[in-house]
Structure 1
Amino acid sequence: MTDYSPRSRRPGGPPLGPLAIVTFALTLAGVGTLLAGTGSVPAPFAPAADVAAWYANHALPIRIAATLQLGAAVPLGILTASVYARQLRLGVRVPGPVIGLYGGITASILLAVSALVTWALASAPAPGGVASTLGVLAFALGGVGYAVGLGLLIAGVAVPAFILRLMPRWFALAGLVIAACGELSFLSLVLDPLQVLLPLVRFGGGLWLIAAAFLLPRDRPRRDPRLAGGERS
Structure 2
Amino acid sequence: MTETTTSRRRRPDGPNAGVLAVVSLALTIASVLVPPLLASGTPFPSPLGSTAAVSGYFVQHSAAASVTGFLVFAASVPLGIYAATVYARMQRLGIRVPGPTIALVGGIAASILLSISGLLAWALGQPVAGRPPALLHTLDYVVYALGGVGFVTGLGLLIAGIAVPALILGLAPRWLAWAGLILAGLSELSFFALLIPQLAFLLPVCRFLGLAWLSVVGFLLPRDRHDVPRRGDRAGTAPSASEVGR
* TM, length-normalised to structure 2: 0.86
- Pick from 182, 198, 201 the counterpart of residue 196 of structure 1: 201
Alignment-mate amino acid for residue 138 of structure 1: V
Question: 1:10 Cα deviation (Å)?
Answer: 3.0
For residues 161-193 of structure 1, what are the alpha-carbon distances to aligned partners after superposition, in whole Å with 9 as ceiling and x for unaligned?
Answer: 001111111100000111111100000011111
Number of the residue aligned with 1:96: 99
Does residue 50 of the first structure (1) align with residue 53 of the second (2)?
A: yes
Q: Which runs of 5+ in 2 are unaligned?
A: 231-246
* Separation of aligned partners in 2, 1:35 and 1:107: 25
Query: What secondary structure sits across from 1:167 in the alignment?
Result: coil
Match of 1:142 in 2: 147
Q: Distance in 1 between matches of 2:68 and 2:164?
A: 33
- Relative to the length of structure 1, the TM-score reads 0.91
What letter is aligned with 2:66? R
> What residue number does 2:17 align with?
16
Task: Provide the C-alpha distance between the structure 2 equivalents of 1:27 and 1:3, rounded to a whole number of angstroms.
Answer: 44
Determine helix, strand or coil for the equivalent of 1:40. Answer: coil
What CA RMSD, in Å, does the superposition of the two structures yield over aligned residues? Answer: 1.7
Identity %: 49
User: RCO higher in 1 or 2 (8 Å CA, sep ≥ 6)?
Assistant: 2
The partner residue of 1:168 within 159, 173, 191 is 173
Find the counterpart in structure 2 of residue 152 from structure 1: 157
Residue identity matched to 1:129:
A
1-side partners of 2:44 and 2:68: how far apart? Answer: 12
Aligned residue-pair number = 224
Residues 46 and 144 of structure 2 are in contact (CA less than 8 Å); yes or no, is this contact kept in structure 1?
no
| 1:9 positional shift | 4.6
Matching of residues 55-74 of structure 1 within 5 Å: 55-74=58-77
Partners in 1 of 2:46 and 2:19 — Cα distance?
33
Distance 2:101 2:171 in 1: 17
Deviation, structure 1 residue 220:
2.5
**Using the alignment, how far apart are the partners of 1:143 and 1:210 within structure 2?**
20
Q: Which amino acid aligns with 2:23?
A: V
1:52, distance to aligned residue in structure 2 (A)? 1.1
1:108 paired to 2:111: yes
Q: In 2, distance between residues paired with 1:3 and 1:63?
A: 53
